[in-house]
Amino acid sequence: HGEAGHHRIWGTRCFDYGSYEVLRFLMSNLLFWIEEYQFDGYRFDGVTAMLYFHRGIEWDFVGGTSEYFSRHVDAQAVAYLTAANQMLREALPQCLTVAEDVSGFAGLCRPVLRGGVGFDFRLGMGPPDEWQRLAPRF
């Protein structure tokens, strides 16, 4: 589904979540916006593209555990998202986080202390995207 580090549909680069410098950059940005501008929450866009090496491209998610616990999952991205949610809770306990994800990744909205990734809400963009595709036909 494209070269590692690239998203072929969006034509963009993807972060290397295993890089200390990348993690430091991303985590410090989350804290900056809370501390400097009093943000009280974040919507993480494109979480599906972060979670899977195939970026969710041409992949039908049917809910089997093999989709969520397999070689297709970017464990370093899961670790980053988990650490980000934990850090945000420690910095600002009332902070809300929303994951835009079409896969229904298991544990995405389970608290970190209960083995989850720690998001408060999941925004499934599948139905709105489908309506946008179908609307011109009517």
Catalytic residue among 35, 60, 90, 100: 100
Which of 45, 67, 101, 130 is the catalytic position?
Answer: 45
**Separation of alpha carbons 116 and 85, rounded Å:** 10
Is 21 an active-site residue?
Answer: no
Distance CA 117, CA 68 (A): 12
Active site residue 3: no
121-123 and 96-100 beta bridge pairing: parallel
Count of residues in the chain: 138
69 with 122: CB under 8 angstroms? no
3-class state of residue 96 by DSSP: strand
Residue 102's nearest CA partner among 62, 42, 53 is: 62
Residues with catalytic roles: 45, 100
